Structure 1
Amino acid sequence: MTDPGERLRSSLAADQSSSASSASSGGAADFDSPIAMEALRATRVLHAADQDPFPVPSRIRVITIANQKGGVGKTTSTVNLGVALALYGLRTLVIDLDPQGNASTALGVEHTVGTPSVYDALVGDNSLGEVVHPTTASPKLLCVPATIDLAGAEIELVSVVAREHRLRRAIEAYVHELPPEQRPHYVLIDCPPSLGLLTLNALVAGDEVLIPIQCEYYALEGLGQLLNNIDLVRQHLNPGISVRTILLTMYDGRTKLADQVADEVRNHFGDLVLPAVIPRNVRVSEAPGYGQSVLTYDPGSRGSTSYVEAARQLAERGVDLPPLERSGLAGANGAPPVTAQSTVSAQDSQ
């Protein structure tokens, strides 16, 4: 398991190398104190813009965050990963596809009835660009909110031609309308806790799936059904979709059960599981009540550090992505979709 403070310790040691030689042994002990470490974590998150940015993906990554079980951290992970990616230099768009609108709440975006939302893009005639809202977390982070109107979208879409492709086409049109320097690097889609038409739209729209798994036994039940549905979508609607990331959430190190679930998931999914684990942390739960992510609400908390580390690992995996079987999206820098092979060739020619 990744130590959330390890990278921060290394960074501080490098930043303060000049003063380290004159520090006493007592100062080193103070540095490892809980209060000092929390202050350090908060400083690193608050001054993310002054640090090395996360690597830019080789193509736009449209990530569907799905799990039909409720309460496993889908919305929390969508919001905090999105904020972390944006704070560290990557243009990010969060699409709230849950009628409850919790992701919109956490990002401080208005989502009362009548607010232009993803419903208008799926059922109405609005383009996605007309329903995108800025967030207070970062100028690089945008959000398409969800209103309660979305609850009726599944019924309204039943008679619509190519209803499963509505979100995919809206995203493609939005990306192509933007100049290359404004196109998002990441599009994160927060799904409702079901396997209905809204989640189906998200799976058809996405190029990869991130599954948050709570470190409890019940979280594993029903996972097979989700994986079977993803296989069906791959066979019939979106050949490019695949599960690329598993994120362990709500990890409680005091229980043996959490370790058993984490080990079982890692043994089954292997390298798909991110090394970073999201712990149970009260600050993560409190933050949405203030219309914030945990990174802005309490940047020094363990939950904040863990999500930053998870976002870093997610970004590092996007540097050399395999080519998509189907994509209407341009590359993250405005070029055609970049494959891992073309990236290597470009490096060799330099």
Structure 2
Amino acid sequence: MKNLLKFSLLFLFLMQSCSKEAWLSGTIDLEGGEDWKPMVYLVVPEKFDAVAQSFVGKVLDSAQIDESGSFEFTNPPEMKAPVLLEIVVQRSGEKYANKLLNENPETDNYFPLVYESEKSIKVNAKISQFQASFSLEEPSLINGKMIELRDLRLKAYQKQLKNQSIEEASDEGLLEREKRLVEYQKQLMDFADDTDEFFPAMVALRWASPEGNYERIAELLYDQSEKWRKLYPEHPWTKELGSMADKENLPILIGDQVPDLLLPMENGREVRLQSLIENQRLVLLDVWASWCAPCRMENRKVLLPLWEKYNAAGFQIVAYGLESSEKAWNNAVKKDGAYRWLHASHLLGDQNPLMDAFRLKTIPANFLLNEEGRVLAKNLHGEDLIEFVDNYMKER
């Protein structure tokens, strides 16, 4: 009798487990996926900087994909408020369930979605093109935004980054490559700016730079921080974003006043930056180096023609070199014809007071300054720089 009671209780438990409704289920097309595990993992990024980042998300659960491609999760997360999850697949042999690929959105191995209490989610995807093929049946408003963001990212990638030519890997093409990357990032940041949905916006910000490098789009990051600080001031991710976007952690922004540094000039004098800006209509502060091939190309093809065209009308160039060899510095200035404008360097290489004061990590970098030393524009190169200087000098 006792054994019969135990069997009955076990049978009842199994029946209840089997009848438990799946909160997340779907079908994964396994065709061409011989190199992939027939498993689906749920990962939760517990911090903002863990979103779209490998090896840091917490693995919540896993489910087997059966021979028909079906899978389901029956135990929902123990969270009442909406939470961002990442649904992930992994290649065979991968030891870590929380490895996320961000190299190519056509083949990346995860999709971010939002769990909302008591709402079921049904998905479909092709395992070898997981992110690009991911779809939701009757998505909620917030997860519909995730699909919209994915579509935008995929289109932007295909337009700006996918077909980088061999020529763009050359010295002359490096600036064009960077321009394409910034254009790609701006589209994701614009999405975040246009939506009031918090989690899709956070994913857009992280997809703009999964490695967390926002140096070239610092103004956009700062604006996003201000936006979400007003809408969701108490959310911990808003506070994380605020810390990242603190002006003390970002390069000098457009609209800011540049610091009045004491600069060692090429002629041996020390001069305040502000004294070089005064009485000029427009100043280009150019941060370069003799060993930087794109910088050298821009000296010859862009800066020299601009200086010759507008210097007499109040356009000045102040070039700060990341130099450790005075000889190499002087030789580059002479060879490029750059001796016509002003040059400064602490001769301390890339660890120097200007890079610290402007909070820079990457060159070429430049700042277009008005007579007060306020930043009008920054990091313009090639035709973009020529167009800005032409328009500014002609209008004033």
TM-score by length of 2: 0.26
* Higher relative strand content: 2
Greater RCO, 1 or 2 (C-alpha within 8 Å, sep 6+): 1
- Which structure's residues are more often helix, by fraction? 1
| Bigger Rg, structure 1 or 2 | 2
